[in-house]
Chains A and B, each alone.
Chain A
Amino acid sequence: GENVEQHPSTLSVQEGDSAVIKCTYSDSASNYFPWYKQELGKGPQLIIDIRSNVGEKKDQRIAVTLNKTAKHFSLHITETQPEDSAVYFCAAAQRGFQKLVFGTGTRLLVSP
């Protein structure tokens, strides 16, 4: 089955810096890759997603890139703010299936 690895497990940056989180997946049949942000006491919130027919997608300060050949995808957050501090999860899914396979999460801390 699918396996998703996520790095780093923790990431500390200064406000205004950029943050990059990387994930790799194992199943070439996966074609949908969402990213979720989870704050303490809350459920995961979708922040951006990408499908395998697209190499990059941006939404304001957030961008995701996908390399299908290498089977990895990354989340890029620019101009980080303290409110970006949270745990971020990447996930992968196959077309036709709702089963999301999640990475182990990255705890991002943005210091003022």
Chain B
Amino acid sequence: KAGVTQTPRYLIKTRGQQVTLSCSPISGHRSVSWYQQTPGQGLQFLFEYFSETQRNKGNFPGRFSGRQFSNSRSEMNVSTLELGDSALYLCASSSLAGGETQYFGPGTRLLVL
């Protein structure tokens, strides 16, 4: 089975722009979670989608949003980018929702200038 795929792998944006990141879960997985990884804050939960519905949300501003499509693929969007949004954005998928094993993709590295 193919693993979790994320596109693009690298991205450079400037302050004020917006960005959309994409995640394709493992085939058959219906839950997709997003995490932000930075040297200062570590790995932090952004949100989780299951069957096209956001089930959980972390403590991030409203500039961070996401959605999930009927084929379980997910996108996250960050509007009005700030320098502090520079991070590795990781997507994880699991077969079900609620305490199930999560498998991570390689991440999208975003640099905001």
Q: Which residues of A contact B (CB under 8 A)?
A: 31-32, 34, 36, 41-46, 49, 89, 91, 93-105
Contact = CB atoms under 8 A, between A and B. Distances in A.
A3 B107 CA distance: 24
Contacts of B24: none
Contact of A89 (B43, B97, B101): B43
B45 interface: yes
Top 10 nearest A-B pairs by Cβ distance? Answer: A43-B104, A102-B43, A96-B98, A98-B48, A95-B99, A99-B45, A44-B104, A43-B106, A32-B99, A43-B107
A99 to B, nearest CB: 5
26 contacts: A43-B106, A43-B107, A44-B90, A44-B104, A45-B104, A46-B101, A46-B102, A46-B104, A49-B101, A95-B99, A96-B98, A97-B55, A97-B56, A97-B98, A97-B99, A98-B48, A98-B56, A98-B98, A98-B102, A99-B33, A99-B56, A99-B58, A100-B35, A100-B102, A102-B42, A105-B42
Given A45-B104, A99-B33, A100-B92, 12 more contacts: A43-B104, A46-B101, A46-B102, A49-B101, A97-B55, A98-B31, A98-B56, A98-B97, A98-B99, A99-B58, A100-B33, A102-B44
A97 B96 CA distance: 10
A26 to B, nearest CB: 16
Nearest to B96: A98
A95 B42 contact: no
Nearest to B57: A99
A31 B99 contact: yes
Interface string B82-113: 00000000101010011111111111000000
